[in-house]
Amino acid sequence: SDGVERIAYVPKGVLSKLVSFSSPSYTHKYFVDGQPFSGDAEVGVGNWKTLLVSGLGGGGKGYFILDVTNPTNFTTANAATIVKADTTDSTDADLGHIYSPAVVDDGRA
C-alpha cells in the first residue's frame, strides 16, 4: 500500500549467474522472466495459504513457490519458512523451461 519493497527473492539456480551483472562486457541475459501467479491453496486440512508460483522462463529450468500469506513475516529470520520449494538448481531431466503461468486446479473432479 505504501510502495515499500517487502521481499526480494533470488532463486537458487540464478545465484551463480548474478556475478555477470558487474562485468563491463555484460550483455542482456534472461534470469527470472517467468510469469508469476499467486493464489490461495489448502496446504493440509483446513490450512489455507497464499502461494506465489513461478518458473524462470528463458532464464533457466525449474520453478519456485513462496508463501506470501502474511507480508509482515517477510524478514530475514523467516526466510526459510517463506520458500516452500525451489527446483531451479535441479539437474532433473524432467524439468524444463516454464513459460506459462501456473494452472489453477480447484480439486473438483
Q: What is the pLDDT of residues 10-22, one digit of tens each?
A: 999 999 888 988 9
Query: Residue 63's Cα: distance from chain center in Å?
Result: 6
pTM for the whole structure = 0.84
Grid cell locating 78: 523467516
Which runs of E-coded beta strand occur in 1-109? Answer: 37-42, 48-55, 63-67, 83-86
| 59 confidence band (pLDDT: 50, 70, 90) | confident
For 23-53, what is each residue's pLDDT tens digit?
999 998 888 988 899 999 988 899 999 999 9
Backbone φ and ψ of 84, nearest 5°? -95, -30
Q: Is 75 left (phi over 0), alpha (psi -120 to 50) or beta?
A: beta
Per-residue pLDDT at 5 exceeds 60: yes
| 1 confidence band (pLDDT: 50, 70, 90) | confident
pLDDT at 40: 92
